[in-house]
Amino acid sequence: MFILNPHASVPIYQQLIDQVRRLVAGGQLLPGAELPSVREMAHEHTVHPMTISKAYSLLESEGLLERHRGKPMRVAALRRNQSSVAAKLRQIEPQLEALALAARQLELSDEEVIAQLRKNLGEKS
């Protein structure tokens, strides 16, 4: 379900947080869905359990996950501000940054990029 790269420059817990946010905002993780336990995740990806539990704790304080004693972490019930456009846009912020960087390096003009982007978005819908 999650892709964690320990060798990336982004810390593992941050990668996990970003992915959970994206999946929840995008609807792939529905409210009430259970996430793997800390032990399972740590074992599967061979990472320190503390990293996973740090991510879970931060997500819990954000309100995205809820903890039930004796049971795995669950996605919290949907709240209004989670589905706001601004929050969703925050999810694709990294991709937009990367796009902007590439565009600048290739010295493409803003209009050219937006036109291409429209085409890509057009293909989707």
* Residues near another protein (CB under 8 A): 6-14, 39, 42-43, 45-51, 101, 104
Distance of CA 76 to the CA centre of its chain: 15
Instruction: Identify which of residues 48 and 79 has a Cβ nearer to another protein in the complex.
Output: 48
DSSP 85-122: HHHHHHHTHHHHHHHHHHHHHHT--HHHHHHHHHHHHH
Instruction: Identify which of residues 26 and 94 has a Cβ nearer to another protein in the complex.
Output: 94
In the bound complex, what is the minimum distance in angstroms from residue 26's beta carbon to another protein?
Answer: 24
65, β-bridge pairs: 75
In the bound complex, what is the minimum distance in angstroms from residue 14's beta carbon to another protein?
Answer: 8
In the bound complex, what is the minimum distance in angstroms from residue 56's beta carbon to another protein?
Answer: 15
Of 67, 117, 115, 62, the C-alpha closest to 92 is 117
Instruction: Identify which of residues 14 and 57 has a Cβ nearer to another protein in the complex.
Output: 14
